[in-house]
């Protein structure tokens, strides 16, 4: 079985912990980060199959993460989650080629389905 690698970046520890537990239960290798700087450094060292990122974080935000991921690995899908969902935010994310966009609180079942859809394109 191919073990897919998923990165989760969110400044809320509970979101990272919930995602890690749920996704590892599905067989994914999951790394979580509470801010984007160390996550982007890790991405430069290793490729991930899917990146889940919060939109609004201190310092480097989700749109910066999206741009950096797409520059490094154009085939890696990015899923964005946010507590600040509005039409402008969604349009900006979609223009940046985000795979999916979820308002918080994100439903883990919807997140898993989105990740599975992203990975099914890679098979």
Q: What structural domains and CATH numbers belong to the chain?
A: 5-120 (3.40.50.2300)
Residues 67 and 59: their CA atoms lie apart, in Å, by: 15
pLDDT of residue 123: 64
How far apart CA 31 and CA 49 sit, in angstroms, is 12
pLDDT along the chain (123 residues), means of 10: 88 96 96 97 96 94 94 96 80 81 92 96 74
Residues 98/80, Cβ–Cβ less than 8 Å: yes
pLDDT (0 to 100) of residue 2: 64
Phi, psi of 28 (to 5 degrees): -80, 150
Three-state secondary-structure class, residue 23: helix
Q: What is the pTM of this model?
A: 0.93
Q: What is the pLDDT of residue 1?
A: 47
């Amino acid at each position: 079985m191919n073990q897919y690698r998923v990165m989760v970046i969110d400044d809320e520890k509970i979101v990272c912990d919930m995602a890690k537990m749920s996704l590892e239960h599905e067989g994914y290798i999951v790394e979580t980060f509470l801010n984007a700087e160390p996550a982007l450094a890790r991405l430069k060292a290793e490729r991930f199959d899917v990146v889940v990122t919060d939109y609004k974080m201190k310092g480097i935000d989700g749109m910066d993460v999206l741009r950096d991921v797409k520059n490094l690995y154009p085939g890696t899908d990015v899923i964005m989650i946010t507590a600040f969902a509005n039409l402008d935010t969604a349009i900006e994310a979609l223009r940046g080629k985000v795979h999916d966009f979820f308002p918080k609180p994100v439903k883990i079942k919807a997140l898993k389905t989105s990740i599975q859809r992203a990975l099914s394109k890679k098979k």
